[in-house]
Amino acid sequence: MKLLRALIPLALFAAVAVFLAMGLGLNPSEVPSPLIGKPAPAFALPQLVDGTVTGTSTSSNTTTNTSTSTSTSTGQPLSREDLLGKVWMLNVWASWCAPCREEHPLVVDIAQRKLVPVYGLNYKDAPAAATQWLRQLGNPYTGVLVDADGRVGIDFGVYGVPETFIIDRQGIVRFKHVGPLNAGVVRDKIEPLLRTLNAPG
């Protein structure tokens, strides 16, 4: 009996050690999104309309519309309701964001492969700088929503740029990735999800 009681400290320590070991495989600073499985927040934002700059330097589809090179945000406002009925990806980016540069080729690739329509959320950025950035690096976006004051970003729970969301036909948020996309995430998480969401019925 006394031996059993004397083993309690060891047992408690073992329990703590198990949790610590499990902790080594976790990322404590990653914040899961409470929006998964819930409707995307409502928004109605102006779009950034500039000449369409597609692809890379080898693309022959480059058409630069110089009359709008010092563009302001123009074009029709786009709202959440406009995007119902299709599966779409929201990519939060900004020209002042270094990791966004890293992931951009991947986003361009996704758009070129026509995996899913990609809409950009230009987060707390200046339209001129944003336009310039897209011109330099390529514009994969079906539309660029301008979130000048970051309100919509907050509604989406954005805390670090870049972030990427996938929203389904009913307007429910299905997936969120914080930080730059990488090939592994696209292949292992996004593509399978898109297949599921795009399946008929």
The binding site for other proteins (CB under 8 A) comprises 2-3, 6-7, 9-10, 13-14, 16-17, 19-26, 28-35, 41, 124, 149-150, 154-157, 159-160
Nearer to other proteins, 26 or 199 (CB): 26
CB of 110 to other proteins, least distance (A): 26
The Cα angle at residue 151 between residues 194 and 105, in degrees rounded to 5: 40
Nearer to other proteins, 20 or 199 (CB): 20
CB of 17 to other proteins, least distance (A): 6
Question: Is residue 131 within 8 Å of 48, Cβ to Cβ?
Answer: yes
Task: Please give the single-letter amino acid code of residue 119.
Answer: Y
Nearer to other proteins, 8 or 199 (CB): 8
CB of 109 to other proteins, least distance (A): 29
What totals of helices (H) and strands (E) does the chain contain, helices first? 7, 7
Question: Is residue 100 within 8 Å of 93, Cβ to Cβ?
Answer: yes
CA–CA dist 19, 14 (Å, integer): 9
